């Protein structure tokens, strides 16, 4: 497919062709800033062109691809392609990103559990901030929904993490764009990060179910939402459920809705879970709360735990990742690499 | 109820906080006790949790310009008797308080966890009527001790009750903008067995004994912020010039130092601070 068929202005088309971008595939891997430089246009304009190009190539794939037998069905080949292009939200801890294959995946439901004080909420807030890192900086450039069932979301902390994220962006800018005039300007201020977190505080399980049912409508009105964090999925379901079968039905209904949401809007769903002790063959073991049937609800399961004085994350369940663990640290600036781990790597 | 109404957007940039009545302790907590959430103080008896609670009852009455909530407070106590003399003593030495501060402290004894659950629905009526902005429960552990047997069925019933109490408290906190402070006791950790690590330290020590917060793992999920207070008895002066008089006098050479530490909190780093209890109240040093 040729660039000449894109619905863009004639001057933009001419600039593209003279800079050597003739086919759509040549545009597929170029960043907006690079394109802006090559074409001598603004970054916004370049991003717009790329958006149009990627939309067009997406359409083309569907048109030329084999016709599905059923509406919405895909072949495994198409799904593989789609997964390769799927986007990830960084955790700001490169060790953790590495075992996760880049970060928390969009289109998937990821469950994260651990003991109180291990950093579940911290990770949740970090993701709500990181999802907003613009595409120019290797991010997703989206918005976040944060559903707080426990009341642990503190705006002070979110602002702190956003400030650190902003500083990192300024530093990135000054390192990579020395030549550009706009080098030291990052157009996103820390307070803007808070603007883009849609925060729901739910106080009962009825409210929780109502909000989750409402999400589809809300997200379709706010298309740029790329992550939904539920902190925690568990809290309201650990009281007063005489009828465990009812609880299981409610939970699996919720899980199905969230999975559908993730697929439909290409967003990441992150569920935070608590741990509980389970009596098993004469001994008590730690396990994520809500029981065995709930374990099927999420695509990926990550368990956070203490190893000596260090925090570790362990991939307990994932269809595509091998199980592995990585250390991380909770710092004033948010989730980061564990300091002692980087030392150890140097020693080796 | 409309799910739209649960959205809070845009977010405020700061959570209102209630001062502890001492700038150093406030700094440890990033400004004070945050409203809308549950803050728990864990300590063995005689460390100062009740002292700090009493101080909070008075601090809540301070005008907002002085870090208070300019409101009344509700004190639910399961440990007897209520130390009203001490509260009175504290109230005489605190600046900026309104007149008759004791009139703005509502006290209610608690006899059991069920009693607490029966009481909670009445908050809908009590809180707006008396302009209550702070609820202190001293202590939550005493409600559960002894009432439940150590069998799986009973423990399950107990933990279900934890979540129920916590969620009702948070519901009211959210609805009326309350600060909620609970105190909890400690239990000794027996043997050298690896206990479950909750929060910033593998183990906590108080008076030289290894302890952990009472009520276990499921309760730890029910609070937002946990603070641990402990004491260390230190010998003062070197052993050579020790004044050894008659029997029992050596006790006077011991000095109790008290500390407070953040075990876990969504907005605070791991930090600690030493404090003293004086006639005027609890102060960081």
CATH fold label, B14-236+246-284: Rossmann fold (3.40.50)
**A125, A152, A279, A333, best to mutate vs chain B, most B CBs in 10 Å:** A152
Contact flag B7-A200 (C-beta cutoff 8 Å):
yes
Q: Which domain holds residue A218?
A: 86-347
ipTM (interface predicted TM):
0.90
Query: What letter would DSSP give residue A68?
Result: P
For tokens 């091998």, the residue is A322
Q: Give the closest-approach CA distance of A21 to chain B in angstroms.
A: 42
Q: For chain A, what is the radius of gyration of the CA atoms? A: 22
Last residue of a domain, one of A46, A80, A114: A80
Helix (H, G, I), strand (E, B) or coil at A252: helix
Contact (CB, 8 A) for A188 and A220: no
Q: Is A213 on the interface with B (CB under 8 A)?
A: yes
> In DSSP terms, which residues pair with B248 in a beta bridge?
none
Nearest neighbour of B266 by CB, restricted to A157, A199, A276: A157
Give the number of C-alpha atoms closer than 13 A to the C-alpha of residue A164, restricted to the C-beta side: 17
Can you tell me the distance from the alpha carbon of A108 to that of A262, in angstroms, rounded to the nearest whole number? 6
Q: Does residue A295 sit in the same domain as residue A241?
A: yes
- Note the pLDDT tens digit of each residue in B113-139: 999 999 999 999 999 999 999 999 998
Last residue of a domain, one of A46, A64, A80: A80
Whether the predicted pLDDT of A341 surpasses 60: no
Domain count, chain A: 2
Q: Does residue A320 sit in the same domain as residue A237?
A: yes
pLDDT of residue B237: 61
The CATH number that applies at residue A163 is 3.40.50.300
When comparing pLDDT for A88 and A81, which is higher? A88
Last residue of a domain, one of A29, A56, A80: A80
SS3 per-residue string spanning B168-216:
HHHHHHHHHCCEEEEEECEEECCCCCCCCCCCCCCCEEECCEEEEECCH
Contact flag B36-A211 (C-beta cutoff 8 Å):
no
The stretches of chain A forming alpha helices (DSSP H) are 10-18, 24-27, 32-39, 43-64, 76-84, 94-99, 120-130, 155-176, 190-195, 205-221, 244-265, 291-294, 339-347
- Note the pLDDT tens digit of each residue in A217-258: 999 999 899 999 999 899 999 887 778 888 889 999 999 999
The CATH number that applies at residue A69 is 1.10.150
Q: Does residue A42 sit in the same domain as residue A134?
A: no
pLDDT of residue A254: 93
Residue B33's pLDDT band, with cuts at 50, 70 and 90, is very high
Can you tell me the distance from the alpha carbon of B59 to that of B70, in angstroms, rounded to the nearest whole number? 9
Whether the predicted pLDDT of B193 surpasses 70: no
Contact flag B13-A121 (C-beta cutoff 8 Å):
no
Q: Does residue A115 sit in the same domain as residue A51?
A: no
Q: Does residue A191 sit in the same domain as residue A300?
A: yes
Q: Give the closest-approach CA distance of A129 to chain B in angstroms.
A: 14
pLDDT of residue A70: 64
Give the N- to C-terminal CA distance of chain B in Å, as an integer: 48
* Chain A residues within an 8 Å CB radius of B13: 155, 159, 191, 194
> Average model confidence (pLDDT) for chain A?
84
Where do the structural domains in chain B lie, given as residue ranges?
14-236+246-284
Residue A179's pLDDT band, with cuts at 50, 70 and 90, is low
Q: Does residue A169 sit in the same domain as residue A243?
A: yes
Structure tokens at B272: 């600690």
């Amino acid at each position: 497919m040729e660039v000449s068929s894109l619905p863009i202005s004639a001057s933009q088309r001419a600039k593209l062709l003279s800079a050597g971008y003739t086919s759509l595939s040549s545009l597929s891997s170029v960043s907006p800033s690079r394109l802006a430089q090559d074409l001598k246009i603004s970054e916004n304009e370049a991003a717009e062109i790329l958006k149009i190009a990627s939309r067009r190539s997406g359409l083309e794939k569907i048109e030329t691809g084999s016709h599905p037998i059923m509406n919405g069905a895909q072949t495994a080949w198409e799904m593989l392609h789609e997964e390769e292009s799927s986007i990830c939200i960084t955790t700001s801890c490169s060790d953790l990103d590495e075992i996760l294959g880049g970060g928390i995946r969009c289109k998937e439901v990821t469950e994260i559990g651990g003991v109180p004080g291990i950093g579940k909420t911290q990770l949740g807030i970090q993701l709500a901030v990181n999802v907003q890192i613009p595409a120019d900086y290797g991010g997703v450039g989206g918005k976040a929904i944060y559903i707080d069932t426990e009341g642990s979301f503190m705006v002070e902390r979110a602002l702190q993490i956003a400030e650190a994220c902003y500083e990192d962006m300024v530093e990135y800018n000054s390192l990579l764009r020395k030549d550009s005039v706009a080098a030291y300007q990052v157009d996103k201020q820390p307070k803007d990060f808070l603007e883009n977190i849609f925060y729901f505080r739910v106080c009962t399980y009825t409210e929780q179910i109502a909000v989750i049912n409402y999400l589809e409508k809300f997200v379709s009105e706010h298309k740029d939402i790329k992550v939904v964090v539920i902190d925690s999925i568990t809290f309201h379901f650990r009281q007063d459920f005489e009828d465990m079968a009812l609880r299981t039905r409610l939970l699996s209904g919720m899980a199905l809705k969230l999975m559908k949401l993730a697929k439909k809007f290409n967003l990441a769903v992150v569920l935070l879970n608590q741990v509980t002790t389970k009596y098993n063959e004469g001994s008590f073991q730690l396990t994520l709360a809500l029981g065995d049937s709930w374990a099927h609800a999420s695509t990926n399961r990550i368990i956070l735990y203490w190893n000596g004085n260090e925090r570790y994350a362990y991939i307990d369940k994932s269809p595509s990742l091998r199980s592995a663990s990585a250390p991380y640290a909770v710092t004033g600036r948010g989730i980061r690499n564990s300091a002692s781990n980087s030392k150890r790597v140097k020693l080796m | 109820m409309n799910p739209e109404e649960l959205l809070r957007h845009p977010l405020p940039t700061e959570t209102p906080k209630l001062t502890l009545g001492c700038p150093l302790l406030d700094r440890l907590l990033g400004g004070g006790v945050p409203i809308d959430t549950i803050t728990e103080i864990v300590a063995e008896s005689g460390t100062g949790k009740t002292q700090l609670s009493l101080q909070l009852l008075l601090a809540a009455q301070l005008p907002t310009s002085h870090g208070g909530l300019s409101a009344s407070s509700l004190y639910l106590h399961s440990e007897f008797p209520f130390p009203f003399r001490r509260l009175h003593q504290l109230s005489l030495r605190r600046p900026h308080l309104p007149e008759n501060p004791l009139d703005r402290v509502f006290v209610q004894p608690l006899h059991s966890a069920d009693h607490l659950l029966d009481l909670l629905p009445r908050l809908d009526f009590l809180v707006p009527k008396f302009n209550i902005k702070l609820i202190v429960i001293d202590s939550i552990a005493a409600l559960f001790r002894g009432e439940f047997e150590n069998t799986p069925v009973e423990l399950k019933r107990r933990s279900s009750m934890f979540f129920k109490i916590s969620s009702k408290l948070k519901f009211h906190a959210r609805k009326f903008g309350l600060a909620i402070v609970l105190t909890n006791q400690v239990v000794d950790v027996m043997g050298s067995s690896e206990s479950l690590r909750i929060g910033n330290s593998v183990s906590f020590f108080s008076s030289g004994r290894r302890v952990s917060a009472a009520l276990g793992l499921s309760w730890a999920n029910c609070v937002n912020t946990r603070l641990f207070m402990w004491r260390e008895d230190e010998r003062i002066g070197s052993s050579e010039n020790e004044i050894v008089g008659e029997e029992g006098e050596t006790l006077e050479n011991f000095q109790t130092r008290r500390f407070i530490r953040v075990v876990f909190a969504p907005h605070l780093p791991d930090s600690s601070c030493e404090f003293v209890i004086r006639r005027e109240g609890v102060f960081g040093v």
